[in-house]
Structure 1
Amino acid sequence: MWILGISALLGNTFVLVFRLRSTPTTRVAKIQAMIITNLAVSDLLMGIYMVLHAVMDILIGESYFWEGRAEEWRASTTCQIAGFISVLSSETFVFLLVLLSLDRFICVVFPFSNWRLGVVSTRVTIGVIWLASVLLSVGGVLLNNLNPDAYGLSDVCVGLPFIRKSTDIREEDDTWTSNQYGIPYSTTIAGSTVSTWKYSIVLFLGINLCGFVVIFLSYIAIFIKARFVRAELGQTSQSAKEIKMALRMLLIVGSFSVGCQSSSLVS
């Protein structure tokens, strides 16, 4: 956690300094610079989240297990802040990558279209993205405070899709243990389980999956468009370049899916 957190802080700080010191001149360069700068800010927030957990791990230490401080930690203000930062970072990351992919898709596939992002429209869209991410982050925190029994946070302060709650709980006599030790003993049995964090299912498995599909289809369309353009220009011996382009797009889409998984699971 320390390595990942500090690496995210240092790497994204470098990106921010580099971007803020550069002065893009063209419209496309300005748009790309704005999106990448905000991507660096969202990743920087994830670094803060990781370092915060690493610090709290040192402060709480083994008492988390031996003294049963799990509930105390989950209900703490620090944990609520960490959860807010995590969701804010991950969802902003997703939305910005979708915006970046759509901008590239329009520029390559429809180069003469009037429906293009401008500098002002990009700023407005990025502002809307941050606002939507803040609202989604606040929503998770509010749900946890309004109904902690149903929306109790996990140990990493984010309600994850696989967290389930036991229902139809009943006690039954454990005859084997009673006969073995000669004392009456009962055990607790759950009839079924239900998902306790439906909000995160919509968030991580719904919104993020839709974002992945949009990015995947956008880069597939870009690849197909590039092949058609090369064919029209008579460039038939471009197999090596096409393989290189395909691998580059596979890396982009793959890094997005890994990023989403790490945002929703590691965070």
Structure 2
Amino acid sequence: SNFRFLQNNSLQFVSKHAFSGLFSLKKLFLSENLISSLSPGVFRDLNRLEWLILDHNPLSSLTHETFLGLHSLVYLSMVHTSLQQLPHPSFCQHMPALDWLDLEGNQIETLNFSILKTCSKLEVLLLMDNRIKRIPESTFQSLLKLAELNLSSNKIMELPKNTFKSLSKTLLKLNISHNPNLHIHPIHFSHLTRLQSLALEGIEIQDIQTKMFLPMKNLSHIYFMKFQYCSYAPHVRSCKPNTDGISSFEDLLANMVLRVSVWVMAFITCFGNLLVIGMRSLIRAENNLHAACIKVLCCADCLMGVYLFFVGVYDLKFRGQYNRNALFWMESVECRTIGFLAMLSSEVSVLLLTYLTLEKFLVIVFPFSNLRPGKLQTGVILSSIWLMGFIIAVVPLLNEDVFGNYYGRNGVCFPLHSDRQEKPTAKGYSTGIFLGLNLVAFLVIVISYSSMFCSIYKTGINATDLRSRLHRDVAVANRFFFIVFSDALCWIPIFLVKVLSLLEVDIPGTIS
């Protein structure tokens, strides 16, 4: 027979003469055993052997003499064999035809030119899940036919700039994923003009640039840690991850639910609030100051409707080819403008809801005090709220060196996510707004309404035992509660997503 299947037999020892005379053997399977050592020359008669499988054996060390006689070997697999280092100085000395070497899941720490210098026929080299820390620049110089290289899940921190230069004419697939401390230099891939697949998953690319990937004209598949990185490789046909839950590789809005929701919410928000403003203007109100506050709140909410409308329009514009336009869109004035409008709307709404809540709280809990704001005071407060909201929204636009592209970090131009790429000032600013101002506002609203309802319950407020003015205030407070509650439902999810991202909690794409 040309095959020997000896896997999963609990073999602990292989005699030096175990394979003597098996000159015609083509494939030998010794995986899933307990073999801890192989004698030099144990395979010396296997001149025609093409496949040798040694997976899952505790082979902590080997010498290059172990493979003496394997002149025809093309495939060698030593997956999870506890190897701490490759036989050197020349691993392939006795395997001149070797073109596939699989060393996944070992404990190899060192890789250099002298180890691989005789492996000139190697086409596939798989070294994932080892402990390799550094790779000298000349390591792959002798691998003149290498088409696939996998160095994923190691401990590589730095790659010399010309590490892959010698592979420029042959390498088609490169995987350096899950080397979390690896620094990617802009010219690392500049020589790999024939590369078709590049995997960079699990790597934070601090200074990612479009020019990193432009030389790879044949690149058809690329794999990143984040969807946002895909926009820096617009010429690549397939990019993973292909969505961040909001946008996808093809579309600004990833699915039909989002598209329909954006248009429905845009129309409801715009026309609903305009209708309220119109009705409040035409119908004489019991309290003109309350009516003015409601109109201002509607104006703030209308801005969010305008923002959603533009998101929907640009989704239509980029339909089917979003990734090609993503970087241009996120860095555009239009994106920053609608992001500014969304932030202005959100913060004015939060501040206004807090003011309305506090105003009602003081009236209900201290009914006989003279704490009602007058027309002038209300005007000053409302103007101050708009001014504060404007300042909060415009500050990140004033200095890009300090804040980066604050609003253009995703396709919908709203600073939902925080990550290591974000400028420290921008991250601090987001923390101040969402964990500072908005959290305080949320707590004030919750505590104030809790106190109001407790006060109403304790004093047994009703129409018969309290003056009519206080009864009207309670009725107005109840109406305002539903206004506050429904409006808060819109910004609390945004607040929670931002808080989770600031705390570096992994947020599923379907939530964000």
Give distance in 1, aligned partners of 2:375 and 2:283.
16
Q: 1:76 aligns with which of 316, 325, 332?
A: 332
Q: 2:431 aligns with which of 183, 201, 209?
A: 201
Give the aligned partner of residue 47 of structure 1: 305
**1:11 pairs with 2:266:** no
Q: 2:449 aligns with which of 219, 227, 247?
A: 219
Give the aligned partner of residue 238 of structure 1: none
Return the offset for 1:227. Answer: 1.3
Give distance in 2, aligned partners of 1:150 and 1:209.
21
Would the aligned equivalents of 1:2 and 1:51 in 2 still touch at CA under 8 Å?
A: yes
Question: CA, structure 1 residues 234+148, in 2 after alignment: closer, same or farther (shift >3 Å)?
Answer: closer
Give distance in 2, aligned partners of 1:204 and 1:31.
29
Give distance in 2, aligned partners of 1:16 and 1:249.
16
Give the aligned partner of residue 212 of structure 2: none
Question: CA, structure 1 residues 57+152, in 2 after alignment: closer, same or farther (shift >3 Å)?
Answer: closer
Q: 2:347 aligns with which of 91, 95, 115?
A: 91
Higher helix residue share: 1
Return the offset for 1:128. Answer: 0.3
Give the aligned partner of residue 289 of structure 2: 31
Return the offset for 1:23. Answer: 2.6
**1:164 pairs with 2:434:** no
**One-letter amino acid of the counterpart of residue 198, structure 1:** G
Range with bigger deviation, 110-119 or 195-204: 195-204
Give the aligned partner of residue 239 of structure 1: none
Return the offset for 1:262. Answer: 4.7
Give distance in 2, aligned partners of 1:150 and 1:46.
18
Give distance in 1, aligned partners of 2:385 and 2:461.
38
Give distance in 1, aligned partners of 2:484 and 2:384.
24
Q: 2:384 aligns with which of 115, 125, 128?
A: 128
Q: 1:138 aligns with which of 381, 394, 411?
A: 394
Return the offset for 1:231. Answer: 7.8
**One-letter amino acid of the counterpart of residue 229, structure 1:** T
- The structure whose Rg is larger is 2
**One-letter amino acid of the counterpart of residue 30, structure 1:** N
**Secondary structure at 1:43's aligned position in 2?**
helix
Would the aligned equivalents of 2:342 and 2:414 in 1 still touch at CA under 8 Å?
A: yes
Give distance in 2, aligned partners of 1:88 and 1:213.
21
Would the aligned equivalents of 2:276 and 2:298 in 1 still touch at CA under 8 Å?
A: yes
**One-letter amino acid of the counterpart of residue 393, structure 2:** S
Q: 1:60 aligns with which of 299, 315, 318?
A: 318
Question: CA, structure 1 residues 149+254, in 2 after alignment: closer, same or farther (shift >3 Å)?
Answer: closer
Alignment of 1:102-113 (within 5 A): 102-113=358-369
Would the aligned equivalents of 2:406 and 2:426 in 1 still touch at CA under 8 Å?
A: yes
Return the offset for 1:133. Answer: 0.4
Would the aligned equivalents of 1:16 and 1:37 in 2 still touch at CA under 8 Å?
A: yes
| Structure 1 unmatched ranges of 5 or more | 168-192, 236-246
**One-letter amino acid of the counterpart of residue 352, structure 2:** L
**Secondary structure at 1:111's aligned position in 2?**
coil
Question: CA, structure 1 residues 165+139, in 2 after alignment: closer, same or farther (shift >3 Å)?
Answer: same
Return the offset for 1:259. Answer: 2.0
**One-letter amino acid of the counterpart of residue 344, structure 2:** L
Question: CA, structure 1 residues 110+149, in 2 after alignment: closer, same or farther (shift >3 Å)?
Answer: closer
Would the aligned equivalents of 2:307 and 2:342 in 1 still touch at CA under 8 Å?
A: yes
Give distance in 2, aligned partners of 1:106 and 1:150.
38
Give distance in 2, aligned partners of 1:47 and 1:224.
36
What TM-score, normalized by structure 2, do the two folds share?
0.40
Alignment of 1:170-181 (within 5 A): none
Q: Deviations over 1:112-165 (max 9, x none)?
A: 2123211110111000000000011101222446542788532211222x3202
Return the offset for 1:103. Answer: 1.0
**1:22 pairs with 2:283:** yes
**Secondary structure at 1:197's aligned position in 2?**
helix
Return the offset for 1:108. Answer: 0.7
Return the offset for 1:260. Answer: 1.6
**Secondary structure at 2:373's aligned position in 1?**
coil
**One-letter amino acid of the counterpart of residue 127, structure 1:** S
Give distance in 2, aligned partners of 1:22 and 1:248.
17
**1:115 pairs with 2:371:** yes
Question: CA, structure 1 residues 63+198, in 2 after alignment: closer, same or farther (shift >3 Å)?
Answer: farther
**One-letter amino acid of the counterpart of residue 53, structure 1:** V
**One-letter amino acid of the counterpart of residue 230, structure 1:** G
Would the aligned equivalents of 2:363 and 2:371 in 1 still touch at CA under 8 Å?
A: no
Give distance in 2, aligned partners of 1:126 and 1:132.
10
Give the superposed CA RMSD. 3.2
How many residues in Structure 1 have an aligned counterpart in Structure 2?
225
Return the offset for 1:46. Answer: 0.3
Question: CA, structure 1 residues 53+144, in 2 after alignment: closer, same or farther (shift >3 Å)?
Answer: farther
